[in-house]
Each structure stands twice: as C-alpha cells, then as structure tokens.
Structure 1
Amino acid sequence: MNDREPVDAPRQPPPVLYNLALLQGELLARHRLSLYDCLILGALAGAEDRAVPVVRLTAFLRESATRMSSHLKSLEAAGLIERHRRDRDHRRVEVTLTEAGRAAFADAEKAAQERLRQDPVP
C-alpha cells in the first residue's frame, strides 16, 4: 500500500487462495465435501489401505483432536471412512477409507486438478 492508495481500496486476494476458495465451493456443491474433508480423505488414500491412527492423522493435518473427531464423525456417517479400535490397545482409534470414500476422493481430486489447471481468476 502506498500513500496515494485509498485506505478502503479492495485488495485482490492472492490467486492461489482465491482458487482454493472457488474449489471449496465447487467441492461442497458437487461432492458435498469440504476442502478439509478432502484433505482427510487424501491422507487416508495415501496410506494405501493401511489403517491410520487418529492421533497420527490429527498431527499430520495439524488439527485439534476435537475438530478432527467432528470431521471423522461426519465422514463416517456418510459412509466414506470406518473408525475402529485397535485389537491390542482399545484406547487407540484407527481410520480407513471405504470404497465409497476412495471413489469420493478420486472424484474430488479430479475436480481439484481441473480447478487448479485453470487460469487464476483475480
């Protein structure tokens, strides 16, 4: 900002963040998933069919346990993930993708790739 620019002049959002905002809207409209939901599904997809401890997923995405639990609950209700307790340590909760979750992530990933390939919208 310089001295000649009015204080109330609208600033353009950075193109990457603006496109992420557009992607968020598109994911919600087309897939009923938030960008954050897709990040969770993507982290699980990257585990290649292995169960991921919730504590590890929470640390990876740098999220609070409370918020992660809320997201996982809604993803589980939608049939996209399964939560289960580990056999030896019942305190440890692990998460896996369902086939529906894998398909939802693939569709959302395709939409994200298409959105981010487009020219940035100012």
Structure 2
Amino acid sequence: MGRNMIDRDPPASTWRQPPRILRTLGVLHGELRVHHGLSLHGYLVLGALAEATARPMPVARLTEILREPGDRMSYLLKGLQTAGLIERRRRTADRRTVEVTLTEAGRAKFADAERTAQALLDRLLIAGGEPS
C-alpha cells in the first residue's frame, strides 16, 4: 500500500505560546464557568443588557452589539432564560420585535461575574501576572 501515516506532534521548538490576550480570555472563560456557571458569551450578553440600564433591548440590537449570528444569539438567550437570568417578550406595539431584559437574578449574577472578571483582568493584564 502507500506510506504509513502516523500522527506525530511537531517538535517542541515549533510550538508557540498563544498570545497573552488569548490565554487571558481562556482563563476568564474558565473562571466564569467554574464560579458563575456562565460562558464568556453569556457574560457578554448579561453585560450588554446591564449597560441598557433596565430598559428592554431588542434582540436584533443585542445581536448587532455582540456581532453574533441570530441563531447563535437565540441559543444563548434560551440558556440564559432557562437559568432565570433574562426575560424575553414580544414588543406590544410591534409583535415582530422580541425584547430582552435582565431579571434581578441576572443583574446579581452579572455583578458577581463582573467582579471576578475585573479582578482577573487586573491581575493578568495590568499587574502582568500569569494565567494559572
């Protein structure tokens, strides 16, 4: 037959460490998952809604802000709604528009996650620490 194909790891000298920001985002994602049960995307959704200061935000606007495809946003919102962190409602004046707001539980979850994220980013990016 042909040559024997074997998967081999490249020599150690060819491995490069990921950029610092990539490692930091990976660590942040892990910390949010472990301590708050949130993905990095879930955290970003809650943050965008928190900045809306208790006003309902159309899903289309949220999709635009976070640059997520509509189907991905629907998936994220469904999980956050199931967890009781957001509410989705159709706009009364225009039933085609779905709006999203944070629940009190969502606001509290985001505040806790924001403290975790800020402490981690301060440690890793500002103070120059290393991801653990």
TM-score by length of structure 1 reads: 0.91
Off by >4 Å, runs of 4+ in structure 1: none
Q: Is 2:90 the partner of 1:81?
A: no
Residue 7 of structure 1 and its aligned partner are, at CA, apart by: 8.3
Q: Please, what is the CA RMSD of the aligned residues?
A: 1.4
Paired residues, what number? 117
Aligned residue in 1 for 2:35: 30
User: Which residues of structure 2 form unaligned runs of 5+?
Assistant: 1-10
Q: Is 2:30 the partner of 1:21?
A: no
Aligned equivalents of 2:86, 2:37: Cα separation in 1: 15
Q: Secondary structure at the match of 2:14?
A: coil
User: Which of the pair has more CA radius of gyration?
Assistant: 2
Q: Is 2:108 the partner of 1:103?
A: yes
User: Which residues of structure 1 form unaligned runs of 5+?
Assistant: 1-5
Aligned equivalents of 2:79, 2:43: Cα separation in 1: 12
Aligned equivalents of 2:18, 2:120: Cα separation in 1: 17
The percent of aligned pairs where both chains have the same amino acid is 57
Aligned residue in 1 for 2:64: 59
Alignment of 1:42-57 (within 5 A): 42-57=47-62
Residue 8 of structure 1 and its aligned partner are, at CA, apart by: 5.2
Aligned equivalents of 2:129, 2:63: Cα separation in 1: 31
Identify which of structures 1 and 2 has the higher relative contact order when contacts are C-alpha pairs closer than 8 Å and 6+ apart.
1
Aligned equivalents of 1:17, 1:55: Cα separation in 2: 28
TM-score by length of structure 2 reads: 0.84
Which residue identity lines up with residue 121 of structure 1 in the other structure? E
Residue 120 of structure 1 and its aligned partner are, at CA, apart by: 3.8
